[in-house]
């Protein structure tokens, strides 16, 4: 049976750890011809910088080639073709497919519509599993481990797909989670239930300052404005991280952010040793090399 990566829950802890190990191999050895002759199709129905380009870079680094689009308005979807029909056809042009789409469940639908492996590059506010593997790899890289860490997640817990997948993945490890909720943007109940079911220790907080001295990783995220009405009061981000707040932090704290950043992290923090989000973005390439190589086997 073909493998897909639609939800982070598709992977066992052993499979996650295996992919992280493969990613560190590709980080050390970034050139390979493992996927020579193979084609990746990149189908991006929503804006993307890192996910699409790091997938493309990963595929080229593995010796493969890329076809695809980042503007669905110039495809036959615009003429009224269904996603299923498009995927069926594209599946006969490529060996692997990555899709980003605004509808939750679209990546699952794509996976069911083709015989080639499908990776979810973000489906609405649901899941973003390849970002999560990048995040786990980065956490392990900057802290030397995942188990035992105290991790705060802040920003848009409601619509942030990167947050959702990361929470589910961290439930495999023995971590302590601090969830900093932005007003009106709470973590979905299904994720809270999963954390409880897995016995993860977690608590909700209104302010970052309450937890700052305890944490090893601070995962910031952007308010997902495109996922709710223009008139909504959610627009106001009350969770901007200021350099002055880091006075209370451990020296070894590292700040992550899936990017793009809007106003969640003061720019002056970039030059401090706490900032690790650009390294995190760079890690998207070796991590996605590991994913591509594994799914194409
Ligand atoms: C994230 C996404 O698209 O969900 N970006 C990314 O893939 N690096 C986060 C975001 O857009 O806020």
How confident is the model over 173-232, as pLDDT tens digits?
999 999 998 878 999 999 999 999 999 999 999 999 999 999 999 999 998 988 887 555
Q: Using a 6 Å cutoff on CB, does residue 258 contact ligand 1?
A: yes
Q: What is the pLDDT of residues 2-41, one digit of tens each?
A: 899 999 999 999 999 999 999 999 999 998 999 999 999 9
pLDDT of residue 182: 81
C-alpha 165 to ligand 1 mean position (Å): 12
Mean pLDDT of 264-289: 98
**DSSP bridge partners of 283:** none
Kindly give, in sequence order, each residue whose CB lies less than 8 Å from that of residue 115, ignoring residues fewer than 6 positions away. 2, 91
Report whether 87 contacts 103 (CB < 8 A). Answer: no
pLDDT of residue 107: 98
Residue 221 CA: nearest ligand 1 atom is 12
Q: 176-181 and 201-205: which strand pairing?
A: parallel
Q: What is the pLDDT of residues 108-154, one digit of tens each?
A: 999 999 999 999 999 999 999 999 999 999 999 999 999 999 999 99
Measured torsion, CA atoms of residues 27, 169, 213, 155, in degrees rounded to the nearest 10? 100
Query: What are the residue ranges of helices labelled H in 75-188?
Result: 83-90, 106-112, 129-143, 161-170
Percent of the chain with pLDDT over 90: 87
Percent of the chain with pLDDT over 70: 97
Q: What is the pLDDT of residues 71-90, one digit of tens each?
A: 888 788 888 889 999 999 99
**Residue from 22, 42, 50, 172 carrying the catalytic annotation:** 50
pLDDT of residue 17: 98
**296 phi and psi, to 5 degrees?**
-80, -10
pTM: 0.96
Distance CA 18, CA 103 (A): 30
C-alpha 198 to ligand 1 mean position (Å): 26
Q: Does the annotation mark 61 as catalytic?
A: no
pLDDT of residue 234: 54
When the pLDDT of each residue in the chain is averaged and rounded to a whole number, the result is 94
């Amino acid at each position: 049976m073909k493998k897909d990566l639609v939800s982070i829950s598709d992977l066992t802890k052993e499979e996650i750890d295996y992919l992280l190990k493969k990613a560190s191999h590709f980080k050390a050895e970034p050139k390979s011809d493992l996927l020579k002759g193979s084609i990746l199709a990149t189908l991006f129905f929503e804006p993307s910088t890192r996910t699409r380009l790091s997938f493309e870079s990963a595929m080229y680094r593995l010796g493969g080639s890329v076809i695809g689009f980042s503007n669905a308005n110039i495809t036959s979807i615009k003429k009224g073709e269904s996603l299923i029909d498009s995927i069926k056809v594209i599946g006969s042009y490529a060996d692997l497919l990555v899709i980003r789409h605004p509808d939750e469940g679209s990546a699952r639908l794509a996976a069911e519509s083709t015989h080639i492996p499908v990776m979810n590059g973000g489906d609405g506010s649901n899941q973003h599993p390849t970002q999560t593997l990048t995040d786990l790899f980065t956490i392990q890289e900057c802290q030397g481990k995942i188990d035992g860490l105290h991790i705060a997640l802040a920003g848009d817990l409601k619509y942030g797909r990167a947050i959702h997948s990361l929470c589910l993945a961290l439930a495999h490890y023995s971590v302590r989670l601090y969830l900093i909720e932005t007003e009106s943007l709470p973590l979905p109940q299904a994720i809270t239930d999963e954390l409880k079911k897995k016995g993860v220790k977690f608590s909700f907080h209104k302010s970052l300052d309450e937890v700052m001295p305890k944490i090893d990783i601070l995962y910031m995220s952007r308010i997902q404005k495109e996922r709710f009405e223009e008139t909504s009061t959610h627009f106001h981000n009350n969770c901007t991280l200021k350099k002055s707040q880091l006075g209370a932090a451990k020296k070894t704290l590292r700040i992550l952010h899936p990017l793009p950043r809007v106003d969640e992290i003061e720019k002056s923090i970039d030059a401090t040793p706490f900032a690790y989000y650009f390294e995190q973005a760079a890690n998207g390439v070796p991590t996605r090399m590991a994913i591509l190589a594994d799914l194409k086997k």
